[in-house]
Amino acid sequence: MADGWVRAAAKADLEEGKVLGVKLNGKDIAIYHLPGGVFCATDNICTHEYALLSEGWLENGCIECPLHAAQFDCRTGKALSSPADEDLRVFEIKVDGADLMVKV
C-alpha cells in the first residue's frame, strides 16, 4: 500500500458494461468496465447531490446519476449534463493478474 495502489475487486467480479461501487481507504469509488476490456475509476458520489453513481446507468462510456440524470464521462470524469456542473475525480486503475487495483 506504500505506493498508493489498493486492491479494489477481482477482475472477474465486474462484467463488461457494468459498474461496481467500492469503498477504499474511506473513499467511495465507482469502477467501470467499458467495452474492449477498458477499466476506469471515479468518485462514486455525484457532484450535484449525494447519490451513488454505481446505482446509475452506464452507456457509451458515460454514467448517468440515478437521482437527477446528470451524466459524466467515465474516462475523464467530465460533467456532461446538468444539473451537475462539477467534474468527478478520476483515479488511476490497473489490472494486476486477476485483480483490479486503484491508486488512492
Mean pLDDT, all residues of the chain: 96
**In this structure, what C-alpha cell is assigned to residue 100?**
483490479
Beta bridge partner(s), residue 22: 29
What is the per-residue pLDDT across 34-70, written as a single tens digit (0 to 9) for each? Answer: 999 999 999 999 999 999 999 999 999 999 999 999 9
- pLDDT for the residue 16: 96
The gap from C-alpha 32 to its chain's centroid, in whole angstroms, comes to 5
pLDDT band at residue 2 using 50, 70 and 90 as cut-offs:
low
**Superfamily classification of domain 5-103:** Rieske [2Fe-2S] iron-sulphur domain (2.102.10.10)
SS3 44: coil
Percent of the chain with pLDDT over 70: 98
Domain spans of the chain, in order of start:
5-103
Residue 14: pLDDT over 80: yes
Residue 22 grid coordinates: 467500492
